[in-house]
Amino acid sequence: MSASEEIIVCHLGRVPYERAWALQEAVQERLIAAKRAEPPETVPHVLLLLEHPPVYTLGKSGDAENLLATDETLDALNAEFHRIGRGGDVTFHGPGQLVGYPLFDLDHFFTDLGRYLRTLEEVIIHTCTEYGVTGTRVDGRTGVWVGPDERGLERKICAMGVRCSRWVTMHGFALNVTTNLDYFDHIVPCGIDDRGVTSLAKESDASVTVDDVRGAVADHAADLFDADITELSGEEAWAFLRDFADAGTALNVQP
């Protein structure tokens, strides 16, 4: 891999799920078009870091029965539900959870989805360490876990599910920071019914916020993918994305 790879990290704040999904598709299409051009264009990779309003999502191979909430319950929770194209089963996104959508052309890193997922896990494990939390892996179960320890069995702190087209990724990870874990009572998280979920705030003795954690995630992503990063926030980030993906009008990509 060339040391000249660049990742633009876009800190977007709170974004409705459907808008973020459309934005991912637009950026992914732009990256695919760049690599198919003659000659290929040199464009940066993109990492979207954001939060969502309450939403449950079900992966393409997931079991709808793992969503335990009825339509009435979803209305009471003011939560949405979407079937989506990533791998994995049902999960929850909401305030207090840092969601990361890496839109990377793996032809410039490594064309190995297993290695890509392990590298994303390592980004989160390193981030957890900064807050005194030991993140681990569980054989056969994607994501990052805490335990087993004196507090109990393994519990998931970060869920992951990805999709790849022509080696350009989308979807990504969801790290519980200060998430209200009661939302997970309405699903069988990731289809796993014998383990629970947790958050950095619950496991750490340190005070922690999503704003704190997103900088650490960006830094560890740069290190583990051996790339230079440029961080953009707010309107500056949205302006870059509108220009990069030519998506301002079509997707109503506004802050």
- Separation in Å, CA 185 to CA 61, 120, 214, 215, 235: 21, 26, 26, 30, 35
- The DSSP bridge partners found for residue 158 are 144, 175
For 137, list phi and psi in degrees, rounded to 5. -110, 155
Separation of alpha carbons 207 and 199, rounded Å: 12
Q: Which two tokens stand for residue 65?
A: 């029965």
Separation of alpha carbons 79 and 95, rounded Å: 11
Separation of alpha carbons 40 and 194, rounded Å: 48
Which SS3 state, helix, strand or coil, does residue 168 take? strand
Q: Is 158 a catalytic residue?
A: no
Which SS3 state, helix, strand or coil, does residue 242 take? helix
Indicate which residue of 10, 128, 158, 190 is catalytic. Answer: 190
Can you give the three-state secondary structure of 43-80, one letter per residue?
CCEEEEEEECCCEEEECCCCCHHHECCCHHHHHHHCCE
Show which residues are catalytic: 190
